[in-house]
């Protein structure tokens, strides 16, 4: 599909400076050499492509980037940064571009997935991983045999330590104070109500995704976490 320069915003870096908190460095230095994409784990199995995202940001096609599904596929492994000949810290850029996307109403569905199981834990206990977390998608009895059924306390007790790691009341109240003071609390309350624009596969399609081959059934939906 043809693109038009009329849709492109000039001066992406200035426009982005506000949302990127000064953390996106030097995208204009990009040579478009593709070293990042060549060994990117997300690019390997999907239409995610760090080089193309930088390209679009440079020409000003910001809408295409922030409305894309692909933006949410980065692993944050940093291998693009490790090989980049121009020293561009792209994982940081992705994190910040995601904030820009949220700002425009894209991607709240992704954040919603994280909020309940993890962010709320942090708010309640000071830790973002719950001691009751099970190995999702594994049958209860299998998990039970291997202590991955969310009963970490029994393992801890056998080790001769307290059944749960406790963060002090004092600390939790401090965390809540910071959350209140910086707007995190309000954000948590609003997350579920946020306008959620539909993201597009701007760089390919879900069909590009590599599936795990499984005897007689290679639909990845089957691997979604469900309580069996």
Partner 1 sequence: MPRQEILDKIKVSEKMFLFKPCVGSNKYPGIITSAEDIFPKLDVEIETSEDQACCGGFLTFTNVAQPTSTMPAVARNLALAEEKGLDTITLCNGCYTFLTEFGHFMNDRPPVKGVVNVILSMIGREFKGSQSVYHSIEILYKLKDKIRERTIRPLEGMKFATHYGCHYLFAFKKTAIDDPFMPSVIEELVRDMGGEIVEYPEARSCCGTGLTQVILHKEEISLPHTKTKLDSIQSVKPDAVIGVCPYCIAQLDRMQQKFNYRKIGKYETPVIHITQLIGLALGIEEKRLGFGAHAISFDKFMQKFHKLEKARGEKNG
Partner 2 sequence: MARIGVFICHCGINISSTVDVEKVTATVKELPDVAFAMDYKFMCSSPGQNMIRNAIREHELNRIVVASCSPSMHLPTFQKALLNEQMNPYLISMANIREQCSWVTKDREAATQKALDLVTRQIKRVSHQDELFDIDVELHKTALVIGGGIAGIQAALDIADGDRKVILVEKSPSLGGKMAQLDETFPTLDCSQCILTPKMVEVAQHPNIRIMVNSTIGKVDGFVGNFKVTINRKATYVDEDKCIGCGVCQSKCPSEVAPNEFNAGLEKRPSIYIPFPQAVPAVPIIDPENCLKLTKGTCGICEKVCPAEAIRYDDEPKEIEVEVGAIIAAIGYREMNPSVYTEYGGNRYPDVITGLQFERLVSSTGPTGGELIRLSDGKVPRRIVFVKCVGSRDEDKGHTYCSGICCMYTAKHAMLYKHHVPDGDAYVCYIDIRSPGKSYDEFVRRAIEEDDVRYLRGRAGRIMKLKNGQYRVYTEDTLIGRPVAIDADMVVLASAVEPQGDAIKLAQILGISYDKDGFFNEAHPKLKPVETATAGIFLAGACQGPKDIPASVQQGSAAAAKVLSLFARDTLKKSARIAMVDPSACTGCLTCAYVCHYSAIEEADFGRRKVSKVISGKCQGCGACVATCKGSAITLAGFSDDELFEEIVL
- Touching partner 1, residues 52-71 (CB under 8 A): none
Our finding on whether 82 is near partner 2 (CB under 8 A) is: yes
DSSP designation for 218: -
122 sits near partner 1 (criterion: CB under 8 A)? yes
Q: Exposed e or buried b for every residue in 8-36, given b needs 16+ CB within 10 A?
A: beeebeeebeebbeeebeebeebeeeebb
Residue 58 interaction partner, one of partner 2, partner 1, none, beta carbon < 5-8 Å per kind:
none
For 180, half-sphere exposure in the C-beta direction (CA atoms, 13 angstrom radius) is 6
Report the residue number, 50 or 126, with the smaller CB distance to partner 1: 126
What does each C-alpha distance from 40 to 37, 48, 84, 103, 169 come to in angstroms?
5, 9, 12, 27, 42
Distance of alpha carbon 213 from alpha carbon 224, whole angstroms: 14
Helix/strand/coil (H/E/C) assignment for every residue in 82-124: HHCCCCCCHHHHHHHHHHHHHHCCECHHHHHHHHHHHHHHHHH
Of residues 84-123, those binding partner 2 (CB under 8 A): 84-87
Q: Pick from partner 2, partner 1, none: which does 9 bind, CB < 5 to 8 A by kind?
A: none
* Binds partner 2 by CB under 8 A, chosen from 17, 23, 77, 83: 83
163 contact, one of partner 2, partner 1, none, CB 5-8 Å limit per kind: none
Which string of x and - marks every residue 183-212 that binds partner 1 (by CB under 8 A)?
Answer: xx--xx--x-----------------xxxx
> Binding string, 23-42, against partner 2, x = CB under 8 A?
--------xxxxxxxxxx--
Q: Which is nearer to partner 1, 3 or 128 (CB)?
A: 128
Which residue reads 């000064």 in tokens? 22
- Tell me which residues in 185-224 interact with partner 2 (CB under 8 A): 203
């Amino acid at each position: 599909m043809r693109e038009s320069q009329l849709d492109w915003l000039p001066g992406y870096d200035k426009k982005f400076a506000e949302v990127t908190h000064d953390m996106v460095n030097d995208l204009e230095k990009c040579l478009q050499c593709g070293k990042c994409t060549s060994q990117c784990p997300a690019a390997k199995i999907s239409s995610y492509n760090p080089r193309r995202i930088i390209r679009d940001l440079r020409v000003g096609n910001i809408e295409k980037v922030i409305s894309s599904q692909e933006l949410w596929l980065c692993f944050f492994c940093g291998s693009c940064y490790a090989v980049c000949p121009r020293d561009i810290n792209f994982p940081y850029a992705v994190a910040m571009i995601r904030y820009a996307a949220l700002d425009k109403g894209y991607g709240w569905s992704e954040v919603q997935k994280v909020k309940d199981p993890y962010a709320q834990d942090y708010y309640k206990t000071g830790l973002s991983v719950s001691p009751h977390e099970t190995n999702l998608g594994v049958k209860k009895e299998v998990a039970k045999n291997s202590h991955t059924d969310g009963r970490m306390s029994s393992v801890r007790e056998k080790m001769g330590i307290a059944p749960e790691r406790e963060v002090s009341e004092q600390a939790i109240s401090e965390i809540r104070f910071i959350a209140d003071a910086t707007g995190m609390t309000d954000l948590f309350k609003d997350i579920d109500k946020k306008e959620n624009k539909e993201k597009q596969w701007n760089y390919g399609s879900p069909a590009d995704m590599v599936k795990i081959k499984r005897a007689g059934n290679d639909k990845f939906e089957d691997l979604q976490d469900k309580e069996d």
